[in-house]
C-alpha cells in the first residue's frame, strides 16, 4: 500500500551530535527521506565549555555550537525526534523507548560514547553531591572549593582549566606519568598556580557524609576534597550496532572504512562511535558528511 | 648555530583552503612551529557563491567563510605567507617564487586543484571577454544576456542557478546523459524556467569579434552566446608532490590513508588534492585536522 511505502525512510540517523547532524544536513542535499532519532541534541560536544578549534570561530561553547547545528538541520526540514532507540533489526526496523516503530532502507549510526565511570565505592552515592561527569554543567558551583579532576586527556585538561576559574585548588589525578593532553593545554596547566598534577595515582574510594569530603588514593594517601570530576573518556554506544551484526574493534568501536561503510551493507557510521584516531567536532562532521554520501550511493544502486 | 635551528619549522602547510587552514588551527594546538604558504587564501572554496552545508550556518558565501577561517588562523598567531612554492626537496626544503627558502621537519600538502580547461579554440582568447572560470566573480556582469555553463557536477549546477538570477537564458552543456549534481540541485534546475540542459554535447569552438558571440557544438549546431562559464572540475596540484616522491593515483590525486599519511614519511596531505571520495569544505576540514595530528604524532617519535 502506498501509505505503508511512505513510512519507509531512506535513512535513519541515530544520534544528534556533530556527526549525526552533519549527516542529516548532507542527507537533505541528496534528497533522502531522513529522520534523526536521538536522546539528546549535541552529544558529548555539549560538555565542552570552550571549543577553540571549530574553523572560523575562535571560541564558542559546545552547547552554542550544537544549537547552531540543530537550527541548521531543522531549517532544512529534518525532524530530530528526541527519543531513545531501544531495538534495531535487519531490514531495517527501529524501535524507540517511546514505543515508536520505523522502517528505513539505510542506517547511519552516530551514537557517540557514554562517559566512563571509575567504578569505586562512593562514586554512585555522591553523584550530584560532589561527584560530576560534566565540568561545564557543574564547575561553577565549586567556587573557592577544593576539587579534583580524574584523567589525563584533553577533556580532563580542559576541565581542570575551567575549574581553576572557580575553585581555590584543583588537583589532576592521573594514573600515568605524563598527561596526554595537547601540548598547548599542558603548557597552560603548568602555568596555572591553582592546578597541581598528581601522577601515577588512582582514586580507590570517595568518602563523605552528605557531600563528598575526601578521597583515598591507591597509595593510601587521603586528600580533603569537595568535588570529584571524572573525565576518563567514553565507551562507544555500540549495543545497538551489535544487534544487527556490525563489527567492532577491541575498544568496542565500530570498524568503519574511509567512506564510513561498516561490514553490514546499508549501515554506515561516523563520529566517536567509530575507530577514528581523532575524536573532534570537525572530524566527526567530515565523517558524517561522508556517511550520508555513502548512504546516498548505496541507495542509487 | 641556534639561529639556524630556529629557522626549521615543525610543519609547513602548503595551501590555505579549508584543509590547509584547519591543519594550521590544529598544528597550533599541538604547539608545532608552523608556517602556511599559499598563493591565495581560500582556494576553490572562494568560488562558491553560496555554501549551504557548512554545519551551523544555513547560507554563506565561500569568500566570507574562508575569511573567517583566515581570521581564526591569524588570531592563533600563524602566518599565512602569500607566495607560491616552486620547489620542494627532501629534508624538507621549500623554495618560493618570491625567492624565500625554508626548512621543515614535516609537510602538509593541501594545494587543492586548479580549474580544468576545455582546451578548445577561442577559450584562451576570450578569457575575461565572455569566457570565465568563476561564476561567483563574473556572473553578475551577464545581466539579461544568454550564457552557458559547461559541466554536470555540483559546481556546474550551482553556477547555472546563480547565473539564472542575472541572465535571460542559461544553457547547461554536458557531455553525458544526466547531470551528476546532488538531487536537490537537479530539482531546482528542473523547476527553473530560464535553464535548459543540453545533454550529450560538447563545445568545439568559441567564436566572436571582441567578445564571445557564439559557440559551436560537436553536433555542428551553433548557438548565439555571450558568456561561457567553464565548470568541469579541477586537476590536483600535485607537481610539487611528485618532486619528493609522493605516490599519486590514476586521477593524479595524492594517495592518502585514513590518517592522511602519504607514502613519504613526514609528508601528509588533505583536501581536494587527495583521493578522497567527497570534495567538500567540511570533509577537507576534518581531513586537515587529521593531517596535523598525524604530523604531531610523527614528530613525537
Instruction: Give me the sign of the Cα torsion angle B9, B10, B16, B22.
Output: negative
Query: CB–CB of A56 and B75 under 8 A?
Result: no
Report helix angle B154-163 to B183-191, nearest 10. Answer: 30
Which chain B residues contact residue A287 at CB under 8 A? Answer: 286
- A6 has a pLDDT exceeding 80: no
Cross-chain Cβ contact A55/B21 below 8 Å: yes
Specify the residue for cell string 566517536.
Answer: A272
Interface of B with A (CB under 8 A): 18, 21-22, 25-26, 28-31, 52-53, 55-58, 65, 68-69, 71-72, 75-76, 182-185, 187, 257-259, 276-278, 280, 282-287, 289-290, 293
A31 contact residues in B (CB cutoff 8 A): 182-184, 187
Q: Are A57 and B71 inside 8 Å of each other by CB?
A: no
Residues 6+ apart with CB under 8 A from B281: B18, B45, B51, B53, B54, B65
**What average pLDDT score do residues A8-34 get?**
96
Cβ–Cβ below 8 Å for A30 and B284:
no
What would the 3-class secondary structure string for B215-246 be? EEECCCCEEECCEEEECCCEEECCHHHHHCCC
Which residues of A lie closer than 8 Å to B, measured between beta carbons? 18, 21-22, 25-26, 28-31, 52-53, 55-58, 65, 68-69, 71-72, 75-76, 182-184, 187, 257-259, 276-278, 280, 282-287, 289-290, 293
DSSP A238: -
- DSSP state, A117? P
Q: Chain B residues with CB inside 8 Å of A285's CB?
A: 55, 282, 285-286
Nearest CA-CA partner of A244 in A269, A221, A277: A269
Select from B21, B58, B71 the Cβ nearest to the Cβ of A75.
Answer: B58
Alpha-carbon distance of B43 to B59, in angstroms, equals 19
Nearest residue to A36 via CA among A2, A70, A86, A87? A70
- Residue A18 · residue A279 · CB < 8 Å: no
Question: How far apart are the CA of A206 and the nearest CA of chain B, in angstroms?
Answer: 34
Angle, alpha carbons B285-B97-B275 (nearest 5°): 30
Residues above pLDDT 90, as percent of chain A? 85
The yes-or-no verdict on residue B158 having pLDDT over 80 is yes
Which residue is closest to A300 within chain B, CA to CA? B183
- Nearest-CA neighbor of A277 among A256, A262, A259? A256
Cα–Cα distance, B20 to B257 (Å, whole number): 17
Q: For the whole model, what pTM was predicted?
A: 0.88
DSSP string, chain B: -HHHHHTEEEEEEE--SHHHHHHHHHHHHTT--EEEEESSSSGGGGG-S-B--BTTBS-B-HHHHHHHHHHHHHHTT--EEE--EEEEETTTEEEETTS-EEEEEEEEE---EEEPP---TTTTTTBTTTEES-HHHHGGGGTT-EEEEE--SHHHHHHHHHHTTT-SEEEEE-SSSS--S-HHHHHHHHH-TTEEEE-S--EEEEEESSSEEEEEETTS-EEE-SEEEE---EEE--HHHHHTT--B-TTS-B---TT-B-SSTTEEE-STTB--S---HHHHHHHHHHHHHHHHHHHH-
- Residues of chain A positioned with their CB less than 8 A from the CB of B276: 258
Question: Across-strand partners of A223?
Answer: A215
- Chain B contact set for A65 (CB, 8 A): 56
Measured between beta carbons, which residues in chain B are less than 8 angstroms from residue A187?
Answer: 31
Q: Which residues contact A5 (CB under 8 A, 6 or more apart)?
A: none
Q: Is the peptide bond before A92 cis (omega within 30 degrees of 0)?
A: yes
What the block records as the C-alpha cell of B160 is 547555472
DSSP A263-283: SSTTEEE-STTB--S---HHH
If you ran DSSP here, which 8-state letter would residue A138 be given? Answer: H
Q: Do A293 and B278 make contact, defined as CB atoms within 8 angstroms?
A: yes
Cβ A269 vs Cβ A246: under 8 Å: yes
Q: pLDDT by residue (tens digit) across A236-256? A: 999 999 999 999 999 999 999
Task: Say how far apart CA B12 and CA B109 lie, in whole Å.
Answer: 9
Q: Is the pLDDT of residue B260 over 90?
A: yes
Q: Which of A26, A31, A55, A66 to mutate to test the interface with B (most CBs of B within 10 A)?
A: A55
Nearest one of A261, A257, A286 to A271, comparing CA atoms: A286
Task: Compare CB distances from B57 to A22, A26, A72 and report the shortest one's residue.
Answer: A72
Q: With contacts defined as CB-CB under 8 Å, which chain B residues touch A57?
A: 68, 72
Between CA B237 and CA B272 the distance in angstroms is 9
The predicted structure's pLDDT at residue B277: 87
Strands A93-96 and A101-109: antiparallel
Determine which of A14-18, A92-96, A132-136, A215-219 has the lowest per-residue pLDDT on average.
Answer: A132-136
Q: What is the pLDDT of residue B110?
A: 98
B174: cell is 554536458
Region A157-176 average pLDDT: 95
Task: Tell me what the pLDDT averaged over chain A comes to.
Answer: 94
Cα→Cα distances A119→A44, A134, A185, A212, Å: 20, 17, 27, 16
Is A57's CB within 8 Å of B75's CB? no
- Asked if B238 contacts B113 with a C-beta cutoff of 8 angstroms, the reply is no
Rounded Cα gap, residues B224 and B220, in angstroms: 13
With a pLDDT cut of 70, the percent of chain B lying above it is 98
C-alpha dihedral (B238, B241, B245, B250), degrees to nearest 10: -20
Q: What is the pLDDT of residues A103-132, one digit of tens each?
A: 999 999 999 999 899 999 999 999 989 999
Q: Is B265 exposed, middle or buried (0-12, 13-18, 19+ CB in 10 A)?
A: exposed
The pLDDT, as a whole number, for residue A49 is 80
Report the alpha-carbon distance of residue B63 to residue A209 in Å, rounded: 59
- Mean pLDDT on A278-294: 96
**Contact yes or no for B278 and A258 at CB 8 A:** no
Name the closest residue on chain A to residue B185, using Cα atoms: A29
The answer to whether the CB atoms of A55 and B75 lie below 8 A apart is: no
**Chain B interface test: which of A74, A268, A281, A282 (most B C-beta within 10 Å):** A282
Return the pLDDT at A1.
32
Are B55 and A259 within 8 A, CB to CB? Answer: no
The answer to whether the beta carbons of residues A203 and A118 sit under 8 Å apart is: yes
Q: What is the distance of C-alpha B263 from the center of its chain?
A: 23
Do residues A135 and A44 touch, judged by C-beta distance below 8 A?
Answer: no
Whether residue A73 is predicted with pLDDT greater than 80 in this model: the reply is yes
pLDDT at A2: 35
Q: Which grid cell is A271?
A: 563520529
- DSSP 3-state of A170: strand
**Among chain B residues, CA nearest to A69:** B56
Note whether A201 and A238 are within 8 A (CB).
no
Query: What are φ and ψ of residue B183, in 5° steps?
Result: -50, -35
pLDDT digits (tens, 9 = 90+) for B124-134: 999 989 999 98
What is residue B6's predicted lDDT score, i.e. its pLDDT?
55
- List the single best residue of B31, B55, B299 to mutate versus A (max A Cβ within 10 A): B55
Q: Are A72 and B65 within 8 A, CB to CB?
A: no
The x, y and z cell numbers of residue B161, run together, are 542557478
Residues 6+ apart with CB under 8 A from B187: A31
Report whether pLDDT(B201) > 60.
yes
* pLDDT band at A140; cut points 50, 70, 90: confident
Handedness of CA A266, A99, A25, B282 (dihedral sign): negative
CA distance linking residue A200 with residue B86, whole number of Å: 50
Chain A nearest-CA distance from B239, in A, is 25
Amino acid at each position: 500500500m502506498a501509505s505503508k511505502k511512505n513510512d519507509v525512510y531512506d535513512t535513519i540517523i541515530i544520534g544528534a551530535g556533530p556527526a549525526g547532524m552533519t549527516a542529516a544536513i548532507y542527507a537533505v542535499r541528496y534528497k533522502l527521506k531522513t529522520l534523526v532519532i536521538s536522546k539528546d541534541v549535541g552529544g558529548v560536544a555539549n560538555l565542552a565549555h570552550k571549543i577553540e578549534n571549530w574553523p572560523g570561530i575562535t571560541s564558542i561553547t559546545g552547547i552554542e555550537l550544537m544549537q547552531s547545528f540543530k537550527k541548521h538541520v531543522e531549517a532544512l526540514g529534518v525532524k530530530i525526534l528526541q527519543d531513545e532507540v531501544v531495538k534495531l533489526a535487519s531490514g531495517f526496523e527501529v524501535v524507540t523507548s517511546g514505543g515508536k516503530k520505523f522502517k528505513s532502507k539505510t542506517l547511519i549510526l552516530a551514537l557517540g560514547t557514554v562517559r566512563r565511570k571509575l567504578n569505586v565505592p562512593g562514586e554512585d552515592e555522591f553523584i550530584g553531591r560532589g561527584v560530576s561527569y560534566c565540568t561545564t554543567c557543574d564547575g561553577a558551583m565549586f567556587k573557592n572549593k577544593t576539587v579534583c579532576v580524574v584523567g589525563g586527556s584533553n577533556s580532563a585538561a580542559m576541565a581542570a582549566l575551567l575549574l581553576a576559574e572557580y575553585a581555590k585548588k584543583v588537583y589532576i589525578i592521573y594514573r600515568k606519568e605524563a598527561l596526554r593532553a595537547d601540548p598547548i593545554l599542558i603548557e597552560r596547566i603548568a602555568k596555572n598556580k591553582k592546578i597541581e598534577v598528581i601522577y601515577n595515582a588512582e582514586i580507590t574510594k570517595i568518602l563523605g557524609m552528605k557531600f563528598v569530603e575526601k578521597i583515598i588514593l591507591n597509595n593510601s594517601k587521603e586528600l580533603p576534597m569537595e568535588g570529584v570530576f571524572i573525565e576518563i573518556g567514553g565507551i562507544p554506544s555500540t549495543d545497538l550496532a551489535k544487534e544487527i551484526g556490525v563489527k567492532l574493534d577491541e575498544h568496542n568501536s565500530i570498524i568503519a572504512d574511509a567512506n564510513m561503510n561498516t561490514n553490514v551493507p546499508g549501515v554506515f557510521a561516523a563520529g566517536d562511535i567509530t575507530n577514528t584516531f581523532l575524536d573532534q567536532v570537525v572530524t566527526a562532521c567530515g565523517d558524517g558528511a561522508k556517511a550520508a554520501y555513502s548512504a546516498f550511493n548505496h541507495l542509487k544502486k
